Structure 1
Amino acid sequence: MRRSLALLTALALLTAGAGCASRGDAAAGAEQRVLRYQGAVGTVTLPELAADLGYLDDVSLKWIGNTTSGPQDIQAATTGDVEFGGAFNGAIVKLKAAKAPIQAVIGYYGVNEQVYGGYYVLDGSPVKSARDLIGKKIGMNTLGAHYEAVLKTYLVRNGLSDEEIKKVEPVVVPPVSTEQALRSGQIDVAVLSGTLRDKALEKGGIHPLFTDFELLGAFTAGSYVFRTEFLKKNPTTVRTFVTGVAKAIEWTRTTPREQVIAKYAEILKKRARNEDDSQLKFWKSTGVAGAGGLISDQEFSTWVDWLDRSGELKNGKPALKDVFTNQYNGYKAA
């Protein structure tokens, strides 16, 4: 029995040691300087851009695979599979309200006149107003995130009752298949953005019922989060990361568009993941509203209030100071 206990103890120590190694090889008492994360196919994330530009100093990134959606990405951060993840601010609010130990630290994507999501219908479609959406299918990349929240905001603002809104059916359609699903009549409305929107518009035959920019104006829509425990133990690392990403955001604002696209293409080529870079030519902006990704109260309070009204915050409204912070962002002082 003593031999067995000794073996179990040794195995436990080895497992613990392996766990520490997987979380960045930080020495005892030292801050972790390797951050695991999930990427996106054919896309360069702002942290990846910051790393390539040298803005992360001695903090390095470790890619462990690609995310399937924003909610999945921040779930991975919550469970400790990655150090940080990014998602729509409303999804962050819902996870925080469920007592997840996370906090948003910087905005990373948004909506403006160049970068927006449109709710497209076929030319000649009978869908011409919010009320026409009753009984119709709206295809989007994931549920419980940005586009479902914007859709329901549109329906509420146009006077639909709760019972009528329940009859509008958001359905998940892979982004690469959304345009075809619309054109073949499988869905009535297609949510299209970025490259896929621009390619679809080039073909013609579709037009927007409305867009999130028309509905809500310019705003930062999504943020990166860390676990609160990680923030407490690694404040310098987080400050380096957040400030580096902030610099990358400003670099995209002040650098000619052609040079930004060329840099993204260079990064895709260097990481050698056999990705298609044809969509890069459509890049226009990050859409981030605040300087250096600074987060404003409204960018979270809007979704806190909306989720509360819709009855989705079963544990009450989380305090904004617990949901996000700008304290790690070097642009705060400016």
Structure 2
Amino acid sequence: MNHDDAVPVRPLTLAWVGRHLDAGERIVKAEPLHGGITAEMRRLIIGTRGGGTRELVLRSYVDPFHLENAEDGLTGEAGALTMLAGTGVPTPSLVAVDPTAAQCEYPSLLMTHLAGRTVLDDTGVETRVRLLARQLVAIHAVCPAERPRKYTTLTTADTVVVPEGADAAVWAAAADVIRRPAPPYEGRFLHRDFQPGNVLFDVPPSNPEGARITGVIDWAGPSWGPADLDVAHCSAVLALLHGPAWGLRFADAYEEAGGVLAASESERLYWRVRDALAASEEVRSVSQPWREAGRTELTTRAVEERLDAYVAALMDAPG
């Protein structure tokens, strides 16, 4: 293996990967994958016994800030990938996992590589929103033999970060919404970070309307909870990435695809506002990968303004 290509993957981890390859296979190249926030991602090119190649993906938690959650994240992802095999939800296949770094330098997971790419530009967003909604309905229809852990939410009314120049009264009213107890709900299997950055598409260059989903990735937080929570999260990300109108549109697209949300508008508002306010704490970390992916206009300030407009639209909605 070329030494320069080996640099992104550490020696113990390389040896661990090698033990999970088929006889006669070898790692010939490692390439960084960009866009992740919590973990280091590498695409590994594997030389096969017959002279061809195949690809695997290596996820390693190396940032000290995220290491404390590595074991839970990798264990959850390994369990989700195993459970989802054969369900029709397009996910990578699990190859191996070392959640406590017993054999690798850092906690790591090895999985198959899926075709397709994340698509973050505005062109074709209407088609992709419909596809995202259908895919999320299919995820929520999965009935695992063993339920994952109950969902968690960390944001409180007191941790919300109000954007500069925002209407303080509107944000105070939004914060009051999540001071209330969570509404009752019918549990569903949740992804918990379902959004455009974690969905792979095949988009014909000459026909954006012919896009199709090839994979759903990043299953570190599978949970049991209300469908509204996954819908609210994807809605908030769409609002920041493509504009508030698309955040408001996603819930309708989900229902049009056959999904079922909370019965009352006040219950729906609770989940949507909760996730929108959670985004206020992550604007900088979320927007940076988008700029690195080519959306250079999405400065931290621009994303804050979109979030402010989205929260105002939610609080102004009928009901």
Band of TM-score, shorter chain? under 0.3
Higher helix share: 1
Report the TM-score when normalising by structure 2: 0.24
More RCO (CA 8 Å, sep 6+): 1
Over alpha carbons, which structure has the higher Rg? Answer: 1
Report the TM-score when normalising by structure 1: 0.24
